Amino acid sequence: MTNLPRTPRFDLTGSRALVTGASSGIGLGCAVALAEAGAHVVCAARRSGPLQGCVDAIASGGLSAEAMTFDQTDLDAMAEAFEAPFDVVINSAGLARHTPAVETTPADFDAVMNINLRSAYFLSASAARALQAAGRPGSIIHISSQMGHVGGVDRAVYCASKHALEGMVKAMAIEWGKSGIRINTICPTFIRTPLSQATFDDPDRLAWIMDKIKLPRVGEVEDIMGAAVFLASDASAMVTGTSMLIDGGWTAG
């Protein structure tokens, strides 16, 4: 009798996960996805009120979640979150300040790099250090962007931060692979969230987006959730140092 291969587990039962930027949008979607897959999810963000509301909503569905409030740019406060290791870490905190390159201020440049790159770097290091100290494998996932692979109008700083994030992830994957620690990115196209609604409400911007996306719609938060579970679970056990583009074909052409 032929021994058939078995599909790896997408189940996260018994896992402990951290999701930053979890009070809205993609971060909230990732938190829900991991909780639905069985993980206990620590939801982190700067604003305690909205964050607790999200955690209460997750828990009301019979899922396991708790809130942790900290500013990710405060590296000392962030490091305290890793007193115990997390099996899964998803970093969804991010910032965009779009201007023509010749009009970018040093303050805007520093603000974007501080959250999109600097905090992501040290979040990754803190997560890996805790896992290595415990002798455990794990999965670190950053919400990057299709703009980490292409350029965009008025997005020089944002693109710079995301291209740098992609390179950072590749280098860290090489360093931590022997420890069984995987690190990857999810690269969405424009996703409909409260923060992006102003872009979708601009007819010129919407026309540009729809011209670039090859599928006949924009992205929704739900489009990211399956990828988050895949990269967090044993189903992606051989995946590290790479990016999952969820861009509707934007970067294909």
Condensed to tens digits (0 to 9), the pLDDT of residues 105-136 reads: 999 999 999 999 999 999 999 999 999 999 99
Element (H, E) at 41: strand 40-45
Assign 253 a pLDDT band (cuts: 50, 70, 90): confident
Overall size of the chain counted in residues:
253
- Please report the pLDDT score of residue 59 as a whole number: 96
More confident residue, 240 or 196: 240
Alpha carbon 226 to its chain centroid, in Å, reads 13
Condensed to tens digits (0 to 9), the pLDDT of residues 148-167 reads: 999 998 999 999 999 999 99
- Please report the pLDDT score of residue 42 as a whole number: 98
Evaluate if residue 1 carries a pLDDT over 80: no
Evaluate if residue 176 carries a pLDDT over 80: yes
Alpha carbons within 13 A on the beta-carbon side of 246: 20
Residue ranges covered by each domain of the chain: 16-252
- How is 140-156 classified by DSSP, letter by letter? EEEE--GGGTS--TT-H
Average pLDDT over residues 183-210: 92
Mean pLDDT lowest for which of 102-106, 144-148, 204-208?
Answer: 204-208
Level-2 CATH architecture, domain 16-252: 3-Layer(aba) Sandwich (3.40)
The 16-20 sheet, strands edge to edge = 65-69, 40-45, 16-20, 88-91, 138-143, 181-188, 243-246
Evaluate if residue 196 carries a pLDDT over 90: no
- Please report the pLDDT score of residue 98 as a whole number: 92
Condensed to tens digits (0 to 9), the pLDDT of residues 9-64 reads: 999 999 999 999 999 999 999 999 999 999 999 999 998 899 999 999 999 999 99
178 is annotated as an active-site residue: no
137 closest CA partner among 6, 34, 15, 39: 15
Evaluate if residue 101 carries a pLDDT over 90: yes
Average pLDDT over residues 230-241: 98
CA-CA distances (angstroms) from residue 71 to 14, 30, 63, 93? 27, 19, 25, 10
Catalytic pick among 121, 162, 170, 214: 162
- Please report the pLDDT score of residue 198 as a whole number: 86
214 is annotated as an active-site residue: no
Condensed to tens digits (0 to 9), the pLDDT of residues 67-89 reads: 999 999 999 999 999 999 999 99
